[in-house]
Structure 1
Amino acid sequence: MTRARPLDVFAAFGYAFATPARVAGVLAGAAVTYAALVLSAFPEYTGQMLGAGVGYLDDALVALTRNTLSTAGTVGLALVVLYALVTGVALVTAAGQVRQTDESGVEGLTGVVPGLVASGCASCGAGLLGLLGFAGALAALPFHGNLVRLAGLLVLLWFLARAGDPRTCRVDV
């Protein structure tokens, strides 16, 4: 089993930003993640806007970004943006691991995929709770749910530390 090493987070970021193609992958992954997190905060509103036409996607993103800012504050919005960026890095790192390993080496992906799944819901908070019918639950949390967002971000960073740079082979002793 691979242990998380704090400096391997920097190796994962270094890998993700090493080439223009990877940077484009990080930015694309971050943009999709940000849109998913913000739009899932109020799924009914998003459904109504997109039901009226895909042309309303930008209006929905702007409105729900403003809503995130007004409900979670600057820190909450910054955590959502930071989580989206780190998710982009995790996606590029996971793709690199798939390219670098054979079928038996896919076990290394367990360093990134659980982080995406486990902390994705914690990052947006309201998205998952809203989908489950508990939209007001996040408002009852201290600091407007920012501690939950921070915890999700830390879990994702921990999984990135486990993954590191996919071009290097690590043997834990």
Structure 2
Amino acid sequence: MSVERSTGADGGLVAALSFPLTTNRRALGAVVVAVVTYVGLVLSSFPEYSAQMLAAGFGYLDEAVLALTANTYATIGPFGLGLIVMYAVLTAVALTNVVTQLRLQDISGVRDLLGVVPGLLASGCASCGAGVLGLLGFAGALAAMPFNGNLLRLGGIALLLFFLARSGDPRTCQVS
């Protein structure tokens, strides 16, 4: 169970990002989490439309996701859509690593990975757009941000990458 921890942020980031690919089960779990995260983010970008489509039947989920992906692309462009996809993938990596670290260590050993919560919240709110912000009473906040909120998304992704690099492979035992 002892895995050598790379020194430096780059080694830790590579270890953290590659960890979900160490077994087929973990990889499948990470893919499922990434897809669910993406669907949740896209559906929450226009919650009324999503609610109407899903109320008409669960069979409309694919149509709603496709329509809202196209809407997201038209609204924030390919770079913004790429950031949302990257956020979904990094969320899957972070959650896979947290679950593994919870299984292998006590609660105090999860401090490094629980540091990703600010990044999850910051880029998550920016990724889903006015859906969550509207629920919180800040409907126009994202529209007023420069670059259609892409800067906030990029900041959230940077936070996720920073904390993943700090935590590295969750199977390693860290001695501070």
Q: CA deviation at 1:48?
A: 1.0
- Per-residue CA deviation, residues 92-125 of structure 1 (Å, 9 max, x unaligned), is 1111101111344344442344433343223333
1:21 aligns with 2:25: yes
Map 1:58-69; keep pairs closer than 5 Å.
58-69=62-73
What letter is aligned with 1:147?
L
Aligned residues: 169
Gap runs ≥5 in structure 2: 1-7
Percentage of identical aligned residues: 59
Query: What code does the residue aligned with 2:37 have?
Result: T
Superposed CA offset, 1:127-171 (max 9, x none): 322333544432222211111111111111122122211111122
Distance 1:159 1:124, change over 3 A: farther
Is the alpha carbon distance of 1:82 and 1:22 closer, same or farther for their aligned partners in structure 2, counting shifts above 3 Å? same
1:140 is aligned with what amino acid?
A
RMSD: 2.0
> So what's the TM-score if we normalise by structure 1?
0.87
CA contact (8 A) 1:98 1:109 kept: no
Matched residue type, 1:24: L
Query: Could you tell me whether the CA contact under 8 Å between 1:16 and 1:26 is conserved in 2?
Result: yes
Larger deviation, residues 108-117 vs 43-52: 108-117
Which stretch shows the higher mean deviation, 109-118 or 155-164?
109-118
Query: Which of 130, 139, 160 is matched with 2:143 structurally?
Result: 139
Residue number among 4, 20, 36 corresponding to 1:32 in the alignment: 36
Query: What is the TM-score when the length of structure 2 is the normalising length?
Result: 0.86
